[in-house]
Structure 1
Amino acid sequence: MTQTNSSWYIHNVNLVLEEQVVAGGVLVKDGNIDTIIPKDSESGEVLQGDVARIDGKGGWLLPGFIDMHVHGGFGGDFMNADRESYDRITRFHASNGTTGMLATTMTASKEAIEAVLNAVTSYQEAGMPYAALIGVHLEGPFISEKWPGAQNPAYIIDPQLDWLKSWKATHPGLIKMLTLAPERQGAVEAIAWMAENGIIAAAGHTDAYYKDIIAAADAGLSHAVHTYNAMRGLHHREPGTLGAVLSDDRIYAEIIADGEHVHPAAIAILLASKPLDKVILVTDAIEAAGMPDGTYELGGLAVVVKNGTARLREGNNLAGSSLTMIKAFRYILEHTKLNIVDVSRLASGNPARELRIFDQTGSIAEGKYADLVLTNAELSVEQTWVRGRSVFCKDEI
């Protein structure tokens, strides 16, 4: 299935488009989707010249997945801040259908966070051979001591606006999202500044009351990380963080669909509460993703993985996941009433919209990047392309 031509054509696939599934093929030229060709409209006119042909064997062709919350995979952690780790992470997740991701940090020292910013910048500039690092998601350190989850409480502090301004000046456009507890001192000011400067302000690891989240949304907060997890829950007299996330349509809601973090019924409640375009699938994957059970590390804390579930050795809190986007995709398809077009929005279209890159990627449409995933009928990944370049092919393993 490898193609070296600047033009190639994949046919005999079920194209998962933004609104429907169409049998046919896609012509790719110079990294972009040139023409979508329904099966009953195939002709030789658009396929003249040196065009490599790929038989999709009746599988699904999906827009590449965009993971806005991922810490690592296959033994690599973004906090390691080195190219070897980044190659391991992006290669592994590309093999599971991810074409773009946000390199997600942990609550750590200012110096450790800056090392990641420097490393991601260098990785982008040197060329990214596998899934693209779209930018950075800073998860912490401005979170709540009451809801640390698997974050290291030694580094939790109030929002430092001067840090954010310095990081933006040094790495313009790199930080795409920052997770914080909106109830902390200085948080609303930081949220307003982020909203004005193109950084997604996200609520997470937070003890915020309903009114706190509404005030934060008024200031520009637009995202909730791993909805249900590490946040004040819903009570009928105090709706809490969760109640605000479920009821305020200004807020995108992440969900970790692995059967461990959130009960299927809670996912159904989320989908019934939010507009479909406001729900986003993420993995929250750590270095243990793709690795055998054992002991790993996350943010300097020991993590034990048993039967694929990661928990802190001390305290037993869930510690990220070993999830992949294709597994999350299949889980939602199996455990909810959504169809494959809907689930594709959660995995690709919605994150692209929130990141303001939907004009470039996130759906199969003419003129967009050829960020594509081919699966078989059972939704097992066969091949992944980033901007038309093959970054994973099952046949070549």
Structure 2
Amino acid sequence: MLRRNPVPQLCILNGTAILPDRLLSDAVVVCRDDRITYVGTAQSRIPASAEIVDAKGGYITPGFVDIHIHGGGGADVMDGSADAVKTVCQSHARHGTTTMFPTTSTGTDDQIHAMLAACGEVRDTWNIESGSKIAGVHLYGPYFAEGKTGCHDESVCRAPEAAEYRRYFESGIVGIATCAAELPGAAAFYRHATKRGCLVTCGHSNSSWNEMETAFQNGMRHVDHFWCAMSNVSSVRKRLGVPMQGSMLEYVLSNPEMSTEVIADGMHLAPELLSFAWRMKRSERLCLVTDCNRALDMPPGKYRFGPEEDGSWFTSDGKVGWASPGSLASSVMGMDHMVRTMHKLGNVPLQDAVRMATLTPAERTGIDQQVGSLTAGKQADILVLSKTLKVKQVHISGERWAQSR
């Protein structure tokens, strides 16, 4: 592991900077301590004393922001230890993620509290060796609907109860909060999460249009991993009968205030669905997420999803996780892979693909004044990518991160 103090001034040049709305050729990005001070093309702005980083004709981008991430490097954040959380942060830093929201799976009350405490410890003791910074926790499991649990352990799914979830929020670290809209108590959960300043989401749900509208009125503004473990017209009809009703899909596409996310690993969604999601929601309301499990950068094999002690089993084939033949179990790829896939297979402009992995998730979670774009005054979380969008250098708060393999 390499650790050093941030240099007083850092200058990255000889690359194309990826801004939220355009590409900037022959860019100059200057940082002082942990902040960006200049983004432009003026070679005269290069300080004489600055350390120079040559992008070698590649790309200069903001660090990636992942709002839905379970594990990596053999660990899952639900393992409930600071060491496990740090392993996940380090694993994803290698793939360009500089800010993350570690995400709970279904689990017992004790397991979720252990995860919250471990994430808080890693956040509060961060240094460059830790890897990605933790901006907050995504309280994801356990409030899922029956039959929509995916690879999560259904035995510990439950409806939200105020006495339980209020203690989770009292940890002060929850920044994103998910609940299936049709569950008893969902409206009260959404209202409480909204008051806590969270991005409020619906996921692992078979909710109807009307249930989504009620959720929206109570603060819900986002839907997790579009097309995955969510309702459609047919599934709502099976649940509620005729006449057929709208589902989560139609509600998200019709409501301009709603955002969603896609897992662009090339296995969950075909290229036309990636392209369709971008065309419908555009980059301002569509996030890229990894939804990654502990098998990232690990050999193919059998792994636990969620807590190591009793999480559900899945199998990684090196491309994706499988809960059973034909049933996916989250991804095994980092955010750099998602950006490449969205751009190349989804035929999405590069600046839009990068925005969906940077500024859009930062905006949706309210941290865009600090991270998410190459903007003077923001944290110096910067990536140098090759011409083929492979991660070459990672800078977090002005320090270069590196991990020996």
Note whether the superposition's TM-score is higher than 0.5: yes
Who is 1:31 aligned against?
A: 34
- Whole-angstrom distance in 2 between the partners of 1:189 and 1:3: 46
- Whole-angstrom distance in 1 between the partners of 2:219 and 2:283: 21
State the one-letter code of the partner of 1:18. Answer: P
- Whole-angstrom distance in 1 between the partners of 2:385 and 2:402: 12
Identity fraction in percent: 27
8 Å contact kept, 2:159–2:184: yes
- Aligned positions of 1:1-397 closer than 5 A: 4-22=6-24, 23-38=26-41, 41-43=42-44, 46-48=46-48, 50-128=49-127, 129-169=130-170, 171-172=171-172, 174-234=173-233, 237-299=244-306, 300-313=311-324, 317-392=327-402
- Structure 1-normalised TM-score? 0.93
Cα offsets for 1:228-256 (capped at 9, x unmatched): 00011245942211111222222211100
Q: Does the C-alpha gap of structure 1 residues 232 and 4 become closer, same or farther in structure 2, counting only changes over 3 Å?
A: closer
Q: CA RMSD in A?
A: 1.9
- Whole-angstrom distance in 2 between the partners of 1:323 and 1:252: 22
State the one-letter code of the partner of 1:90. Answer: C
- Shift in Å, 1:4: 5.0
- Whole-angstrom distance in 1 between the partners of 2:112 and 2:250: 31
- Whole-angstrom distance in 2 between the partners of 1:307 and 1:120: 27
8 Å contact kept, 1:247–1:274: no
State the one-letter code of the partner of 1:15. Answer: A
Q: Which portions of structure 1, spanning 4 or more consecutive aligned residues, are displaced by more than 6 angstroms?
A: none
- Whole-angstrom distance in 2 between the partners of 1:52 and 1:307: 38
- Whole-angstrom distance in 1 between the partners of 2:283 and 2:294: 30
State the one-letter code of the partner of 1:163. Answer: E
8 Å contact kept, 1:74–1:89: yes
State the one-letter code of the partner of 2:312. Answer: L
How many residues of Structure 1 are paired with residues of Structure 2 in the alignment? 388
State the one-letter code of the partner of 2:56. Answer: K
Q: Which moved more, 1:120-129 or 1:212-221?
A: 120-129
Cα offsets for 1:2-51 (capped at 9, x unmatched): 8852211111111111222112211110110011230xx212x6503x32
- Whole-angstrom distance in 2 between the partners of 1:87 and 1:192: 32
8 Å contact kept, 1:142–1:179: yes
8 Å contact kept, 2:85–2:118: no
8 Å contact kept, 1:249–1:275: no
- Whole-angstrom distance in 2 between the partners of 1:188 and 1:392: 44
Q: Secondary structure at the match of 1:117?
A: helix
Q: Secondary structure at the match of 1:277?
A: coil
Q: Does the C-alpha gap of structure 1 residues 183 and 4 become closer, same or farther in structure 2, counting only changes over 3 Å?
A: closer
What runs of 5+ residues in structure 1 fail to find an aligned partner?
none
- Whole-angstrom distance in 1 between the partners of 2:35 and 2:76: 31
- Whole-angstrom distance in 1 between the partners of 2:402 and 2:339: 18
8 Å contact kept, 1:217–1:250: no
- Whole-angstrom distance in 1 between the partners of 2:265 and 2:87: 22
- Structure 2-normalised TM-score? 0.92
- Whole-angstrom distance in 2 between the partners of 1:178 and 1:333: 29
8 Å contact kept, 1:131–1:391: no
